[in-house]
Structure formats: C-alpha cells, structure tokens
Amino acid sequence: MRIALIVTTYNRPDALAAVLEGCLKQTDPDFEVIVADDGSTRDTADLVAAYRARAPFAIKHVWQEDAGFRAAAIRNRALADTDADYIVFIDGDCVPPPDFLANHRKLAERGWFLSGNRLMLTRPFSEQVLRDKLPVHLWRTSDWLRARRRGQIERLLPLLRLPNIGWVRKQLPRRWQGAKTCNLSAWREDLLRVNGLDESYTGWGLEDSDLVIRLLRAGVKSKSARFFAPVFHLWHPENDRSRLAENRRRLEESLQATHIRASKGVDQYL
C-alpha cells in the first residue's frame, strides 16, 4: 500500500518547512508528499524545491492561481496527481510526529476512512517554534509536559496514545461531525468514487464535512484515529469566514440529499 500525504498550504513557508521536517523523520518509508498550494508566491515553490533535493521520498508541488480560499479545488488537483493507493490529508501548519504515517497505515482498512486529532499550540509558542526551528515533531512526553506547565499548549489529552483495538475505533461508524482534513485519510478509490471534494464550497469551512457525509452515503464508514495518529497544529490567524453561512446552508442541503458524487469534483482533472 503506497501512501500519498497531501499537505495544503497558502503563503506560509515557515510553517510548511516545519511540516516537511516532520515528513523527513517519518518511520514509514513508502510514501510521497504532495504540497497542495492554493496560490502561494514564489517563496513556497523555492522551499519545496529545497526539500525535494533533501528528501528520500518524492515531493510534488501542485499549484493553482490565487483566487481566494479554494482548498477543495487544490486538494482535488493533488488527488488527481497521484496514483497512490491511500491518501492522508493534513494542513500546512500541522506537524506530523515520526510515527504519523506508520500509524495511519496500521489503522487503514478497506471500507473505512480515518479521522485523527490534533494538539493545538498557542500563538506565542507557535511563533517560537517557527522562529527557533524547534523540532517539536521529535519531542518526548516530558517535553510536552513541560510545555503544558508553561501554558504553551492548550491541553495534553490529544497526546494520549490508546492501543489499536479495532472494535473500539469503530464505535461511531456513521459519525461525520469532527472529521477534518487537517488529519483525515481514505483509500484513493473511495475518494474517486465520490468525486473528491466539492468545489462549490468556496471560502473557509465545511467542504471536508461534505466529503465525509458523501463517503458515508457511499458505504465507507468512519474509524477513529484519535489518540493514535495526532498532529501538532501551529497557531494561525482565523481565516476569512464571510462564506461560512453559505457553506453551512449548502451542507444542510447535502445532509438532506442522496447524492454521493461531488457536482464539481476531481474528475475534471483526471
């Protein structure tokens, strides 16, 4: 099973560098990285080129013109640009620990998608991590305990690791709430079956919920990767939410509908 890690980014090369440093330390060797770039300037392309020269795995850079927040579209373009068996989505400010992809692989199962959790870093600590290039992806429990005492992270619970007991992780097979593409994985064939993400969602919010709802409708069930494959989420300013009300209305319509395929999805790039 070959994995493609799709990392969505927009004009934040310092955070992307921290993510790619985490990728360099993955214990699982059989993967590629696709940087899904929603219209960044040249700095991001230069950074990706520098890491491509260092990495023992393939790194692709898929770019689209900056025309506002179009995460669904750039993820679809990235999905179309790989033939990997299994897709893991994270954001360009979510740093993976070394066992992140290995643990997604361990949990991957036909007929299921995975939804993981994240550890939120505070703004001052995130700025310190990026400024001083702190290797938080390599931190041990003692380091995180010290960070919690200093108020640098919101809570320790996301760091808790629970054993991989299948039936426990399948307790909520129809749950879509809480699944986010900052830590989500699925078989590529299942993503293609539902035509990827729906690009009619523009601006920030809920395109990932729509994807999960359609996967469930297509018979792909939800399996929890929480407390087994977390990411470390760097602080960022809140995105423009001017389209959120429209996206919420669209999601409500999707909940009442019966379709499984996105009306404007990945097929236009295949």
CATH topology of domain 3-269: Spore Coat Polysaccharide Biosynthesis Protein SpsA; Chain A (3.90.550)
- The answer to whether 107 and 169 are in contact (CB under 8 A) is yes
Residues 6+ apart with CB under 8 A from 149: none
E-strand stretches of the chain: 3-9, 31-37, 59-63, 86-91, 94-95, 112-115, 118-120, 183-187, 221-224, 231-233
Burial of 170 (0-12, 13-18, 19+ CB in 10 A): middle
Q: Tell me the CA distances in angstroms from 144 to 15, 91, 135, 163, 261, one per residue in order.
A: 19, 21, 12, 20, 42
Return the structure tokens found at 11.
């004009």
Return the structure tokens found at 9.
């980014």
Q: pLDDT tens for the chain, 270 residues: list them.
A: 999 999 999 999 999 999 999 999 999 999 999 999 999 999 999 999 999 999 999 999 999 999 988 999 999 999 999 999 999 999 999 999 999 999 999 999 999 999 999 999 999 999 999 999 999 999 999 999 999 999 999 888 888 888 787 788 999 898 888 788 899 999 999 999 999 999 987 766 678 889 999 999 999 999 999 999 999 999 987 665 666 677 777 777 777 777 899 999 999 999
**Cα–chain center distance at 222:** 16
pTM: 0.94
Angle, vertex CA 26, rays to CA 24 and CA 27, nearest 5: 135
